[in-house]
Amino acid sequence: MADLMKWFDTRRSPVEMIERLFEGDTAASGIRVEEAVEGNTLVVRAELPGIDPEKDVNVSIVDGALEIKAERREQSEQKGKDSYRSEFRYGSFVRRVALPDGVKPDDITASYKDGVLEVRTPVPAKSQEAPARKIEITRG
């Protein structure tokens, strides 16, 4: 019941409550990503609004996957004649995206613009797999 009540906090505006219902609470949601192959390049775009990419974002390759780690820290204050309200939002987020076999970490580039992190890497040409061959079993 307590979890349900946090959505209907009377200190929040109706618009804020609707946004929380549809977008999810910042602390509970992850990083939204979009993956696409443009020509022979894999493009991964991640929504990271309000984050300083130099301080708060780490992009790395872990076990054949692209790993995006971000940390968000926000503080807002509202001072009125007879009231004061302060709110903090913070949290760490991680998202992993599988990379095609053969991707070279040195070929991966990342850029950040208008709240969107974009990571690009060439997709290696698929190598020809050897055709399946049955192995005969001999009795010993």
- Looking at beta carbons, which pairs linking 7-14 to residues 24 or more positions away fall under 8 Å? 11/85
Task: Give the separation between CA 132 and CA 54, rounded to whole angstroms.
Answer: 48
Where residue 6 falls among pLDDT bands split at 50, 70, 90? very low
What is this structure's pTM? 0.62
Say yes or no to pLDDT of 36 above 90. Answer: yes
Numbered ranges of CATH 2.60.40.790 in the chain: 31-122
> Any idea of the CA torsion for 76, 80, 84, 88, to the nearest 10 degrees?
-10
- The confidence score (pLDDT) of residue 17 equals 54
> Any idea of the CA torsion for 14, 20, 22, 25, to the nearest 10 degrees?
-170
CATH 3.30.420.40 for domain 31-122, yes or no, is: no
Write the pLDDT tens digit of every residue in 54-110: 999 999 999 889 999 998 877 788 888 888 888 877 788 899 999 988 899 999 999
Among the listed residues 77, 79, 76, 57, the one whose alpha carbon sits nearest the alpha carbon of residue 68 = 57
Output the average pLDDT for the chain: 80
Where residue 28 falls among pLDDT bands split at 50, 70, 90? very low
